[in-house]
Structure 1
Amino acid sequence: MTAPPSTSPFAFGDLQGCHTPFRRLLSQLPSHDTVPLWFAGDLINRGPDSLATLRDVAALGSRAQVVLGNHDLHLLAVSAGIRRLKGGDTLADVLAAPDAAELLEWLRHRPFAHFENGMLMVHAGVLPQWDVTLALELADELQRALRGPRWREALTDLYGNDPRHWTPDLKRADRLRVAFNAFTRIRFCTPDGSMEFASNGGPQSAPPGHVPWFEAPARRTSDVTLVFGHWAALGLMLRERLIALDSGCVWGQRLSAVRLDQNPSDRVVMQVECDGCGALAE
């Protein structure tokens, strides 16, 4: 008797507007028209077709679990007049689209973290002092700020590098900024969780006194599986309780999707080449 197909979700790395590889990879997934899909943020920007990519993911409805990445938030900030388009941005088609308001409203209501079946998905990372409960509390605070009527003011306050270190007594604005930066920007931190934002190379390029955030000692989320993107120089990385998904599609490498079976030995990796999806600028 044939076993029924797995209903475990497939999680995608950063799409960044690489619509053609996304459609190709999606069509190759087992039960591709019904399987739940997770997206680790950065749906858009730098790739050639941000608008079609955003439309397709939004059209998936409840099948798609999407967390916000730094490029998604950059689009919201540009639309709100908080930030300006950069030279390498490929967001003009989204901003000029007849359904721009609807797409931006959908994007603004995506979460910063998603937790299900012992797996926590964020775009970039979490700080070592946070357990899952605290991470979800902070994500909820950010989500409520971004979904509220004063979301433009809230988003303006979230940009900035300081403070770089978590303490429980942070005032609200600082508390949210630290959470915002951890969820959407972190790569390296000191062993006690002070974030560094200048370095974007692989783990071997860690600044002195810093480690990849997931290797910080005594990280309190080590009891769950972390699923994340953001770090193209890290590439696809599978450990028992760690799944890094950004394999550099927008830099002409590969787009990856991983089936999130709770048993690591049952995970399935699917990939497609991303020739022709080169970013305009770093």
Structure 2
Amino acid sequence: MPTYAIGDLQGCHAEFVALLDTLSFDPRRDRLWLAGDLVNRGPGSLACLREAYTLGDAVSIVLGNHDLHLLAVARGSVAAKRSDTLGSILDAEDRDRLLEWLQAQPLWVDDGSASDQRTLMVHAGLLPIWSLSEACERAQEVETVLRSERAGAFLDVMHGNTPARWQDDLEGDDRLRAIVNAFTRMRFVTADGTLDFKAKEGLDSAPEGFAPWFTYSREDDPRIVFGHWAALQGQTPGARVRVEALDTGCVWGGSLTALELESGRKVSVPCRKPA
């Protein structure tokens, strides 16, 4: 029963189906992890959402920044951007069912293995100053709110770059926003847990004093599967933790990539029509 982890779909439905076919994926036998950003920018956002939804218990998903943006746009918390391709979802007859399902997804997926073989999935990364137990607890803080009556109020204030630095005594919406940003938007970070939100290109675009989150060592040593950073093209030079970068930029003309967790084998299909 293999488990495949796939990077950001971002509405690339044709490539998603092609990749599942290449893997001979069978939801009755196999498991699928999706590293967030199922939607936006690509032409098949609604189809990607429906495809993932129909896989039921065979799929595990973490929320990405584009998924959370969709939830905020659907509520009216923020306006859609000119580059968004979310209209088909917002106009769909099954939108409420799909959005309710999406909003119930976690920020963190963990295979529950022993510490030396543990694999977890997040969208953007794992803040280096957080232990695994702290990261899990903080993910659950946000997940609890998104599944509660307070969800709408938080989506109204979720977007924003402050506070940029994590502090344990953060409270309220500032605390929740900082957690969301760490799990879904992080690329470059300082040793004290300050995030940069401007640099989005390759490793040589790091602002002064900042470094990729995976170049900081950790006391624990899980394998971390993540997406979000298309400019890496699946490469993580200088990593001091065990990481697998899965966003290979399908929506930008690259490819859609799957990692078989048990064997480490990677399989990719090329983009058919870049955004």
Q: TM-score range by the shorter chain?
A: over 0.9
CA contact (8 A) 1:127 1:219 kept: no
- 5 Å-filtered alignment, 1:118-267, equals 118-216=118-216, 218-220=217-219, 222-237=220-235, 241-261=242-262, 266-267=263-264
Percent identical pairs in the alignment equals 47
Residue 237 of structure 1 deviates from its aligned partner by: 3.0
- Deviation string for 1:170-194 (max 9, x for gaps)? 2232221111100010100112221
Which of 86, 89, 103 is matched with 1:91 structurally?
Answer: 86
Q: Aligned with 2:256: secondary structure?
A: strand
Following the alignment from structure 2 to structure 1, what is the Cα–Cα distance between the partners of residues 193 and 213?
8
Instruction: Specify the code of the residue in structure 2 equivalent to 1:58.
Output: Y
Structure 2 unaligned blocks of 5 or more: none
Farther-moved stretch of structure 1 (181-190 vs 159-168): 159-168
CA contact (8 A) 1:253 1:275 kept: no
Which of 21, 25, 31 is matched with 1:27 structurally?
Answer: 21
Following the alignment from structure 2 to structure 1, what is the Cα–Cα distance between the partners of residues 152 and 208?
37
Farther-moved stretch of structure 1 (55-64 vs 155-164): 155-164
Following the alignment from structure 2 to structure 1, what is the Cα–Cα distance between the partners of residues 172 and 110?
23
Instruction: Specify the code of the residue in structure 1 equivalent to 2:22.
Output: Q
Residue 55 of structure 1 deviates from its aligned partner by: 0.2
**Partner residue of 2:8?**
14
Residue 146 of structure 1 deviates from its aligned partner by: 0.6
**Partner residue of 1:82?**
77
Residue 30 of structure 1 deviates from its aligned partner by: 4.4
**Partner residue of 1:4?**
none
CA contact (8 A) 1:225 1:241 kept: yes
1:269 to 2:270 alignment = no
Q: Aligned with 2:252: secondary structure?
A: coil
Tell me the TM-score normalized by structure 1: 0.91
Residue 46 of structure 1 deviates from its aligned partner by: 0.4
Residue 211 of structure 1 deviates from its aligned partner by: 0.2
Q: Aligned with 1:11: secondary structure?
A: strand
Farther-moved stretch of structure 1 (179-188 vs 239-248): 239-248
Residue 35 of structure 1 deviates from its aligned partner by: 1.0
Q: Aligned with 1:160: secondary structure?
A: coil
Q: Aligned with 1:130: secondary structure?
A: coil
Q: How many residues align?
A: 266
Following the alignment from structure 1 to structure 2, what is the Cα–Cα distance between the partners of residues 86 and 146?
23
Residue 132 of structure 1 deviates from its aligned partner by: 1.0
Instruction: Specify the code of the residue in structure 2 equivalent to 1:275.
Output: R
Following the alignment from structure 1 to structure 2, what is the Cα–Cα distance between the partners of residues 153 and 191?
32
Structure 1 unaligned blocks of 5 or more: 1-6
Following the alignment from structure 1 to structure 2, what is the Cα–Cα distance between the partners of residues 32 and 258?
16
Following the alignment from structure 2 to structure 1, what is the Cα–Cα distance between the partners of residues 121 and 231?
19
Residue 156 of structure 1 deviates from its aligned partner by: 2.1
